[in-house]
Chains A and B, each alone.
Chain A
Amino acid sequence: EVQLVESGGGLVQPGRSLRLSCAASGFKFDDYAMHWVRQAPGKGPEWVSGISWNSGKIDYADFVEGRFTISRDNAKNSLSLQMNGLRADDTALYYCTNGYTAWGQGTLVTVSS
Chain B
Amino acid sequence: EIVMTQSPVTLSVSPGERATLSCRASQSVTTNLAWYQQRPGQPPRLLIYDASARATGVPARFSGSGSRTEFTLTISSLQSEDFGVYYCQQYHNWPPLTFGQGTKVDIK
* Binding between chains A and B: yes
Binding site for B on A (CB under 8 A): 33, 35, 37, 44-47, 50, 59-61, 93, 95, 99-101, 103-106
Q: Is the CB of A60 within 8 A of B95?
A: yes
B62 within 8 Å of A by Cβ?
no
Closest to A52 in B: B94
Assess the A99–B101 pair: CB atoms within 8 A: no
> Could you say which of A44, A101, A104 contacts B99, with CB atoms under 8 Å apart?
A44
Task: Name which residue of chain B comes closest to A102, CB basis.
Answer: B46
List, in ascending order, chain B residues with CB within 8 A of A50's CB. Answer: 94-97
Partner of B87, one of A33, A45, A59: A45
Give chain B residues whose Cβ lies under 8 Å from the Cβ of A37: 97
Whether B91 lies near A44 (C-beta < 8 A) is: no
- Are A103 and B46 in contact, with the CB atoms below 8 A? yes
B102 nearest in chain A by CB position: A44
Q: In angstroms, how far is the closest chain B Cβ from the Cβ of A42?
A: 10
The answer to whether A103 and B43 have CB atoms under 8 Å apart is yes
Pair B87/A101 contact, Cβ less than 8 Å: no
Residue in B44, B85, B94 whose CB lies within 8 Å of A99: B94
Q: State in angstroms the CA–CA spacing of A100 and B31 once bound together.
A: 12
Q: Tell me whether A99 and B96 are in contact in the complex, defined as CB-CB below 8 angstroms, given that A104-B43, A105-B43 are known contacts.
A: no
Report Cα–Cα, A106/B38, bound state, in Å: 13
Contact: B98 with A47, CB < 8 Å?
A: yes
Q: Which residues of the other chain, A, contact B72 by a CB distance below 8 angstroms?
A: none
Known: A45-B99, A59-B95. 13 other contacts (CB 8 A): A47-B95, A47-B96, A50-B95, A50-B96, A59-B94, A61-B95, A61-B96, A99-B91, A100-B89, A101-B46, A103-B44, A103-B46, A106-B43
Cross-chain contact B99 with A99 (CB below 8 angstroms)? no
- In the complex, A44 Cα to B100 Cα: how many Å? 8
- The 17 sampled A-B contact pairs (Cβ below 8 Å) are A35-B97, A37-B97, A44-B85, A44-B87, A44-B100, A44-B102, A47-B95, A59-B95, A59-B96, A93-B43, A99-B94, A99-B97, A100-B32, A100-B34, A100-B49, A101-B46, A106-B43
